[in-house]
Structure 1
Amino acid sequence: MIFKRAQELTDLNCSFVTATIIAVRGSAPQDLGAKALFSAKGLEAGTVGGGKVEAACEKYAQEILGQSHQKAPQTITWNLQKDIKMTCGGEVTFLFEHFAFQSWKLALFGAGHVSQALTRALINLKCQLTVIDDRSVWLDQLPTNSKLKKLQFDKPEEAVASFDSNTFFISVTKGHTSDVPVLREIAKHFPNAPYVGAIGSESKGNALRTELQALDVNADFLKKLRVPIGLSFGSNDPEEIAISIVAELLTVRDAWLKSRP
């Protein structure tokens, strides 16, 4: 069960920590070799004894998961009476192993034809994708997948603040007027996001920048704003447009990951 869950989390690009009992002296709530797996959500599988000792392991695992980079395996020995406040007076040594995955997060505003094709292409990759639209009929046409979250907002721009500065933002909304509020919110909350782009022509890009500039959007953000998006190949077929966008996203992602400390 624990190894199956580890594989599932790996497939989802979800970081986790395992805690394994590697030494016992005196009485302990579990045997040598007992293992538990923790993600950011808490205990996922296995057990190292439950109760206070498992709570202590979970707390320590969460501290490890809070690190930005993968930590080397480490051991820690707890006196169950002094350190964990348990009645049994044994000592237990745990091996904590950190399996960190760089979660690639994308926010796709709009669920129309290009978004449908783009979503189907992206969910084949290791990523976490959120699609936001005000139209449930379009969101309902998207596939069901553990990597995909669908959000319906009457004002899609209100969803922007729920993401973070490492998110890749793509706007493929109904048009210019619905792109502007989304891009303005991205500029407000995440001006240094690694990727911000909107579908459209170069003339649309110029019009968007002019309107956003009039709304006091930062000039550096406007320079980084990508319109059009996607590499220059293929036809105007939604599936081919989607492939060109994915190619650009992967190119930017790889360069961004290499540039990070």
Structure 2
Amino acid sequence: MQPPSDILDLVNEARARGEPFAIATVVRTVSVTAAKAGAKAIVLADGSISAGWIGGGCAKSAVLRAAHEAIRDGQPRLVSIQPEDLLDVKQVKPGELKDGIFYARNMCPSQGTMDVFVEPVLPRPHLVILGASPVAVALADIARRMDFFITLCAPTADRPALGVVDRIVDGFDLPAGVAAGDFIVIATQGRGDSAALKAVLGATARYIGFVGSMKKFAALRRDFEASGLVAAAMDDIRSPAGLDLGSITPDEIALSIVAEMIEVRRRGQRHA
């Protein structure tokens, strides 16, 4: 078993790579168990253990299943692996959630009990902003406070009021590595609308929004169709971007967009 300090070093390395994973920590054991309280393991999204140890097959399958689900929905879990007779006493079935605890059956001859806390560690959501308009600047500021990783794409001459962002791209080309789970907002507001829209056509992202009126967006679509571009990809772009809060100022518009992105990001993660 690796020392806890080594595990923490590996956790920091995994964070730096931006990959999702979960930390499984044994928090309590009763009777005979292979792993003891304090044992840790790093579980990757594919269900493999990249480092550490939390016991043998008696506990491993339940913990890996819980880690996979935690990475998927972003929620931590407490898993209690117990022999069947103790589950019967508690009147719970394997796989059942009761009082915030997921129960699993320990099939090993040792018949011990092990409680494991599974905590997902997810990378910061990535927001790509095209443009350096007042709304773009406000959006970068608010989204960064919501822990988004911010990439801003805009010509150098258009960035005098730029605040703090994580990465800058000169022009409207999307950075390499934009993934299906990322967020894209076109906030050019008249300075490069067409070029920015062309850059995102065909991009695969969780959210693509356009800051502007439906009338402007429709006019841009007509221009694209007239020039022979396939504009069907514009069907997936939210225009105008943001929840309908009656926003008027750049800060209000940016807030409505961040609120909509959070709604999209957290959809399905909250439990009733």
Shorter-normalised TM range = 0.5 to 0.7
Aligned residue for 2:174, secondary structure, equals: helix
Q: Secondary structure at the match of 2:145?
A: coil
**Residue segments in structure 2 that go unaligned for 5+ positions in a row:** 46-50, 83-109
Q: How far did residue 21 of structure 1 move?
A: 5.7
- How far 1:184 moved relative to its partner? 0.7
Q: Which residue of structure 2 aligns with residue 171 of structure 1?
A: 186
Partner in structure 1 of residue 237 of structure 2:
225
Partner SS state of residue 108, structure 1:
strand
**Cα distance change of structure 1 residues 97 and 23 upon mapping to structure 2, 3 Å threshold:** closer
Is the counterpart of residue 73 in structure 1 residue 94 in structure 2? no
The CA distance in 2 between the partners of 1:252 and 1:114, in whole Å, is 15
Structure 1, unmatched stretches of 5+, are 42-50, 78-89
Q: CA deviation at 1:197?
A: 1.6
Q: Could you tell me how far apart the structure 1 residues matched to 2:156 and 2:115 are?
A: 47
* 1:92–1:34 distance in 2 versus 1, CA, 3 Å: farther
Distance 1:229 1:93 in 2: 51
SS of the counterpart of 2:166?
Answer: strand
Q: CA deviation at 1:224?
A: 4.4
In the other structure, the counterpart of 2:152 is 132
- The answer as to whether partners of 1:15 and 1:39 remain within 8 angstroms in 2 is yes
Match among 101, 106, 116 for residue 96 of structure 1: 116
- Aligned mate of 2:201, from 172, 181, 184: 184
TM-score, normalization by structure 2: 0.54
Provide the aligned C-alpha RMSD in A. 4.8
SS in 1 for 2:220: helix
Contact 1:132/1:156, CA 8 A, preserved across alignment: no
Question: What is the CA distance between 1:216 and its match in structure 2?
Answer: 1.8
Q: 1:260 to 1:119 in 2, by over 3 A?
A: same
User: Cα offset for 1:129?
Assistant: 3.1
> In the alignment, what sits opposite 1:53?
53
Query: Which residue does 2:24 correspond to in 1?
Result: 18
1:109 aligns with 2:121: no
TM, length-normalised to structure 1? 0.56
Percent identical across equivalent pairs?
A: 13
Alignment length (residue pairs) = 210
Q: 1: distance between equivalents of 2:264 and 2:169?
A: 32
CA offset at residue 121 of structure 1? 1.7
Give a deviation string over 1:161-192, Cα, whole Å, max 9, x none.
5221x433211244123222223132xx34xx
